[in-house]
Chains A and B, each alone.
Chain A
């Protein structure tokens, strides 16, 4: 059955390195969300797109995070430079509409920044 896929599943990197996470939404879904999950903050919305256009990235630290959708089958989240406080699980989700509609989540990327 159709699923959201994310790569890599795990990433360990050193402080200052660039990290790129990728997400393939479910075919036909026009809305893509990026979330970050930490023990302290829970699930936070970082950014989201509709029809590949960024609608809101107010949840992202602008100086180091960037999110793009180069095409309808790929969403990317980049951190440059990475810091230890970025260690978290990053989830991508896709759906057919806005927040009122079911979101289908990927398996997440567990990022550890040393």
Chain B
């Protein structure tokens, strides 16, 4: 069965610090990969996604993620975080040609000014 691991459950950073959130999945076949974000009091929304092509994917608000197939990883990065990035971040994987999205347990990011 597919699974997604997000090793960092809670990350605390100061503004302007760099961010990297880990995501690893277990599935041997072709996958589609997603990062969703949930800002305080808001619904989940898509941050970025990878289907094929360039393994470095750029999303909204300066976020990017790199798909490393050999490591089954899809880590999320941002060079300089802002207070407004305080949110919960979810990695998700979809096995190609299936309907289901499998989510990780999420990483709570707190950014202090």
Contacts and interface: CB of A to CB of B under 8 A. Distances in A.
Interface in B32-63: 32, 34, 36, 42-46, 49, 51
Given A42-B104, A56-B100, A99 B44 contact: no
Interface residues of A, number: 26
Interface in B70-113: 90, 94-96, 98-106
Interface residues of B, number: 23
Interface SS of chain A: helix, strand, loop or mixed?
strand
A107 B43 contact: yes
Interface string A1-16: 0011000000000000
Interface string A99-114: 1101111111000000
Given A100-B94, A107-B43, A55 B101 contact: no
Interface of B: 32, 34, 36, 42-46, 49, 51, 90, 94-96, 98-106
Interface of A: 3-4, 31, 33, 35, 41-45, 48, 50, 55-56, 91, 93, 98-100, 102-108
5 cross-chain pairs, A with B, having the tightest CB-CB distances, nearest first: A42-B105, A98-B99, A99-B94, A43-B103, A105-B44
